[in-house]
Homo-oligomer: A and B are copies of this chain.
Amino acid sequence: MTKNFVVGIDLGGTKISGAFTDLEGNVLYKHTIPTNAFEGEKAVLDRIITVIKEVIKESGHSIEDVKAIGVGSPGPLDPKKGEILQTPNLPFENFQLIKPIQEKFDIPTFLDNDANVATIGEHLFGAGIGTKNMIFVTVSTGVGAGAIINGKIFRGNTFNALEVGHASVDKDGPMCKCGNRGCVEVYSSGTAIGRIANEAILEGKETSLTKYKTVTAKEVFIEAKSGDNVANEVLDFSLNYLGICISNLIVTFDPEMIVIGGGVSMAGEIVFNKINEVVKERCFKEMAAGCRIVPAGLGTDAGMIGAAALAITESE
């Protein structure tokens, strides 16, 4: 009997989202519940299992139709052992979650970190379809990335490859929580954009940002669009570093495509224009010419669809 469906689970700090999809990445049914991480690993595992049951049941198909299950989670984790080693925002430590799921359903189950899962999703069903060498960069709370090399996800020796958010681009730059200085993440993440804007406000600069009670990257993008000088300066500063990161990725991987996703990328033109400007200024012409820089193709369901894509590629 051919099994033509998979389940993708996106395990996040606040919610667990599950999707029942076909092998072309079409979502037939999806369901989201709170993570309630404070209840501990066993309770979270039970909640994941509940979501899997729910999406299978409500899809109108049966468990026999499911080829594989994929789970995307914050890392660091060990995809081979199916274990989340630790997570900065979740109280997990050596959380073995793949084996119990696999045993519960008797379906092959796979785990990978959220950046890799999103990379596989973009490669299989999003902006990167058909590429052989592609880099996915996600810019939201942090800056993460994944690489498709010769058509396959590249994980590295300890499964942590593409932590390019923690490549230093200024030796004397601000301290990053990773211990390094001048990481791309301390300049270009959504968190960083908010921090830098708040620093400008505290310096007493005249800006329309003062009208907000709380200023995050979102407000900076809104006010920049309205013509506020300080908001535009903050973005120019932050996105310049993102451009340097992308230029460095091009000279390093010589990819045919860089896909950019995550909350910050949603601001669209202002982000991509700045990246393209910096790449044009800094990067080898031949390599830049060979590399398209494009927005992510999967929308808000990217996490679930990526996890489904992981299930599909790993069970092949």
Contacts and interface: CB of A to CB of B under 8 A. Distances in A.
Copies in the complex: 2
Interface residues of A, number: 45
Contact of A255 (B133, B150, B156, B291): B156
Contacts of A76: 286
A160 B240 contact: no
Interface stretch (A103-111, A121-129, A243-251, A261-269): A243-251
A112 to B, nearest CB: 14
Interface of A: 76, 132-133, 149-150, 154-164, 166-171, 178-181, 240-241, 244, 247-248, 251-256, 281-284, 286-287, 290-291
B241 A166 contact: no
B171 A254 contact: no
A159 B252 contact: no
A252 B240 CA distance: 20
21 contacts: A76-B286, A157-B256, A157-B290, A160-B251, A160-B254, A160-B284, A160-B286, A161-B252, A161-B253, A161-B254, A162-B252, A163-B251, A163-B284, A168-B169, A168-B247, A169-B169, A169-B171, A171-B240, A171-B241, A179-B284, A252-B252
Nearest to A160: B254
B248 A178 contact: no
A158 B247 contact: no
Contact of A284 (B159, B162, B178, B256): B178
A136 to B, nearest CB: 14
Given A133-B157, A282-B181, A168 B244 contact: yes
A177 to B, nearest CB: 12
Contacts of A290: 157-158
A158 B251 contact: no
Given A168-B282, A180-B282, A180-B283, A157 B252 contact: no
Contacts of A281: 179-180
A150 B240 CA distance: 33
B171 A170 contact: yes
